[in-house]
Amino acid sequence: MARIVMKFGGTSVADLDRIKNVARHVKREVDAGHEVAVVVSAMSGKTNELVGWVQGMPKVVGANSPFYDAREYDAVVASGEQVTSGLLAIALQAMDINARSWQGWQIPIRTDNAHGAARILEIDGADIVKRMGEGQVAVIAGFQGLGPDNRIATLGRGGSDTSAVAIAAAVKADRCDIYTDVDGVYTTDPRIVPQARRLKKIAFEEMLEMASLGAKVLQVRSVELAMVFKVRTFVRSSFEDPDAPGMGDFLNPPGTLICDEEEIVEQEVVTGIAYAKDEAQISLRRLADRPGVSAAIFGPLAESHINVDMIVQNISEDGSKTDMTFTVPSGDVEKAIKVLGENKEKIGYDVVQNESGLVKVSVIGIGMRSHAGVAATAFKALADKGINIKAITTSEIKISILIDGPYAELAVRTLHSCYGLDKN
């Protein structure tokens, strides 16, 4: 007998039939004698709808966010998960399974004060563990916790993954299964590249890069927690028949295991390709080339919570003037330009230019640490397709390339095949 946390994403609980299907997956594990806690997302599309409602309200003057009070945003947006947790508990009870729903505040899942993008600080798993010991299934609303102000706090989009892994760590689960609408982690988004291959295993570090560079299959924070707390995490499909052969295999369930790199025997040089849409580029022209100029630019942007990503600075010809180019999420361009305008004198630039609708494609693989020429292969493959590169950043295990939006799919496919990732 083991302890398992099962998480079901939005498409897995999209309607009443899908929720009944989820109940069958849960029943399979209960019948096998395991202790089970379930984490659910809102029905797919629901969170977007709730966010839209909040954004449709009049702006609150003096609120602690540019548009609305983030605590009330959380009160609204967390409601989607309350609905699905209750519905799944009812579906389980109807199958004669002892089940009870739990909201974040009831456990409680304690978070910090960053409403809308809160981080989990502490989970008291005692009550749930006791109930699981008595044979009760805990059905937990994902995406939400309780802030220091005793108000509901949400964990950022895709946050139910993080709820699940954090709960698995708190109750010392033997496994955390993330059920979604694909049957594992692929070499790239299988909806963009049909030739993508499912990975049997992927290393924590690689999954971390994939997630932070745009593969939304897992929220970044969930991978960090799995890595730190050594949670055995699988990504698998809720769309397969819950009672098909092998679905209940405890040691070797169908799907992708996120694990230490030592567990991966045949390490490829490149493991996967990720992409992130809606990037924007901002360039400051004829900037004074002197110490402190970067601090003058990026300090105020950081204070305004604008996430700057790729940074390129040109070498100035005569040592006096230079250009600085960097990327921010498209949604932050307006705010960034405003902040730069307010600091124009301190920074000392001539003009600011910007371009939205760009895409960052990234090549990821631990094997890059010990192989030369990986970047050159990407540049040549993109050049052969006539794709212009606007900026590049690299780390030990990844190369990120900024390109024009319309070339996104072509670039992902090209990179995927140039490293031999296409399935035969």
Residue 182 interacting partner from Mg ion, ligand ADP, ligand ASP, none (CB closer than 5 to 8 Å by kind): ligand ADP
Instruction: Give the separation between CA 54 and CA 65, rounded to whole angstroms.
Output: 12
Instruction: Give the separation between CA 117 and CA 341, rounded to whole angstroms.
Output: 27
Q: What is the amino acid identity at position 275?
A: Y
Q: Site for ligand ASP (CB under 6 A): which residue of 6, 37, 39, 42?
A: 42
Pick 35 or 209: Cβ nearer ligand ADP: 209
Task: Decide if residue 159 touches Mg ion (CB under 5 A).
Answer: no
* Locus of tokens 């009160």: 75
Residue 145 interacting partner from ligand ADP, Mg ion, ligand ASP, none (CB closer than 5 to 8 Å by kind): none
Instruction: Give the separation between CA 364 and CA 362, rounded to whole angstroms.
Output: 6
Task: Decide if residue 159 touches ligand ASP (CB under 6 A).
Answer: yes
Task: Decide if residue 216 touches ligand ASP (CB under 6 A).
Answer: no
Rounded to whole angstroms, what are the CA distances from 278 to 87, 332, 333, 358, 387? 35, 10, 11, 6, 18
| Least distance from ligand ASP to the Cβ atom of residue 398, Å | 24
Residue 185 interacting partner from Mg ion, ligand ASP, ligand ADP, none (CB closer than 5 to 8 Å by kind): ligand ADP
Strands (E) across 64-142 are located at 99-102, 109-111, 120-123, 137-141
For residue 336 the two structure tokens come to 């960034």
The answer to whether residues 139 and 128 touch, using CB atoms and an 8 Å cutoff, is: no
The answer to whether residues 155 and 109 touch, using CB atoms and an 8 Å cutoff, is: no
Query: Is 249 strand, coil or helix?
Result: coil
Binding mask 87-126 for ligand ASP (x = CB under 6 A): ----------------------------------------
| Alpha-carbon torsion (214, 219, 223, 224), positive or negative | positive
Task: Decide if residue 233 touches ligand ASP (CB under 6 A).
Answer: no
| Least distance from ligand ADP to the Cβ atom of residue 192, Å | 8
For residue 51, list its beta bridge partners.
none
Binding footprint of ligand ADP on the chain (CB under 6 A) = 9-12, 41, 158, 180-182, 185-186, 188-191, 210, 215-217, 272
CA atoms within 13 A on the CB side of 141: 28
| Least distance from Mg ion to the Cβ atom of residue 162, Å | 10
Choose the binding region for ligand ASP from 154-162, 298-306, 356-364, 408-416 (rule: CB under 6 A). 154-162
Residue 215 interacting partner from Mg ion, ligand ASP, ligand ADP, none (CB closer than 5 to 8 Å by kind): ligand ADP
Pick 77 or 363: Cβ nearer ligand ASP: 77
Pick 9 or 147: Cβ nearer Mg ion: 9
Instruction: Give the separation between CA 112 and CA 119, rounded to whole angstroms.
Output: 6
Choose the binding region for Mg ion from 66-74, 153-161, 165-173, 264-272 (rule: CB under 5 A). 153-161
Pick 9 or 80: Cβ nearer ligand ADP: 9
The answer to whether residues 74 and 54 touch, using CB atoms and an 8 Å cutoff, is: no
Number of residues interacting with Mg ion: please give it, by CB under 5 A: 2
| Least distance from ligand ADP to the Cβ atom of residue 404, Å | 21
Query: Is 79 strand, coil or helix?
Result: helix
Instruction: Give the separation between CA 118 and CA 121, rounded to whole angstroms.
Output: 9
The answer to whether residues 217 and 198 touch, using CB atoms and an 8 Å cutoff, is: no
State the residues that interact with ligand ASP by CB under 6 A: 9-10, 41-42, 47, 80, 142-143, 157-161
* Residues within the interface to Mg ion (CB under 5 A): 9, 158
